[in-house]
Amino acid sequence: MNGRALAISSGLLVLATGTALVGSASAAADDTPERVRPSVSHDHRSVASRAGAVPVGLPSVDPAIKAHHDTVVIARYTEAVNTQRWLDAVAAIERAQQAEASARARAPRPVSQRSSGGGNVLECIKHRESRGQYDVVNTSSGAAGAYQFMPGTWNNNAQSAGRTDLVGVNPSNASAADQDAMAQHMLATQGLGPWGGGCG
């Protein structure tokens, strides 16, 4: 073999050897375990995180689960609000009942309409004052009617009872029903005092 042919053969041999070495290195790299290989995915995750994407490895929230959770939270809040409103209403009712009970306790007790002897108080007063005569007038004192109202007492009592139609009317000229009503009102508001007692 001449020198030129020898040189060409040597060059081909070197080329073949180099190609074989590159192939072996590539194959060896493919056989390298995952933990040994350098990871480039970390760089991708870092870039993704810096870009505002959801970090790789965190589970995403199921929209249905989130909606259910929101519904539960709203329901519990609504229940708490309604419970507080109910408690406030109950407290207001209790305060109103207490105020009503206090008002009843402070209100004057009505005078018994029956005398200690078992008779009706108004009947007793009427009998003592006029012997039951509705048209009688005491000429010396000016008292008139079955219950012997003085004119000023009658007018004040009628005004207090809301019977302005009876103000200025002589008691002896008023109807028996009106005289009874005025006596009833005075007994309820002032007791037996105006008649000097004795019929209780």
Question: Is 76 part of any domain?
Answer: yes
Does residue 99 lie in a domain region? yes
**Inside any domain, residue 5:** no
Same domain (yes/no): 138, 173: yes
Q: pLDDT at position 181, please? A: 95
Rg (CA), the chain: 57
Q: How confident is the model at residue 103 (pLDDT cuts 50, 70, 90)?
A: confident
In a domain, 189, yes or no: yes
When comparing pLDDT for 59 and 103, which is higher? 103
Q: Does the structure show a pLDDT above 90 at 184?
A: yes
- Asked if pLDDT for residue 106 goes beyond 60, the answer is yes
Q: Is residue 28 part of a domain?
A: no
Summarised one tens digit per residue, pLDDT across range 36-82 is: 444 444 444 444 444 445 555 667 778 888 888 889 899 999 998 99
Residue 136 has pLDDT above 90, yes or no: yes
Q: What was the pLDDT predicted at 145? A: 96
Report helix, strand or coil for 155: helix
Res 186 pLDDT > 80: yes
Residues contacting residue 139 through CB under 8 Å, at least 6 positions apart: none
Which residues span the domain enclosing 68?
61-107
φ, ψ of residue 101 to 5 degrees: the values are: -65, -40
3-state secondary structure at position 11 = helix
> In this predicted model, what pLDDT tens digit does every residue of 164-182 receive, in sequence order?
999 999 999 999 999 999 9
83 lies in the same domain as 129: no
| DSSP letter for each residue of 55-117 | PTTSPPPPHHHHHHHHHHHHHHHHHHHHHHHHHHHHHHHHHHHHHHHHHHHHSPPPPPSB-TT
Higher pLDDT, 58 or 134: 134
Residue 149 is given by DSSP the state B
Residue 105's pLDDT is 77
Helix axes 176-190, 121-130, angle to 10 degrees: 110
Domain tally, the chain: 2
Q: How confident is the model at residue 100 (pLDDT cuts 50, 70, 90)?
A: confident
- Do 98 and 126 fall within a single domain? no
**DSSP assignment, residue 137?**
B
Note whether 188 and 127 are same-domain residues: yes
Q: Are residues 84 and 142 in the same domain?
A: no
- pLDDT, mean over the chain: 76
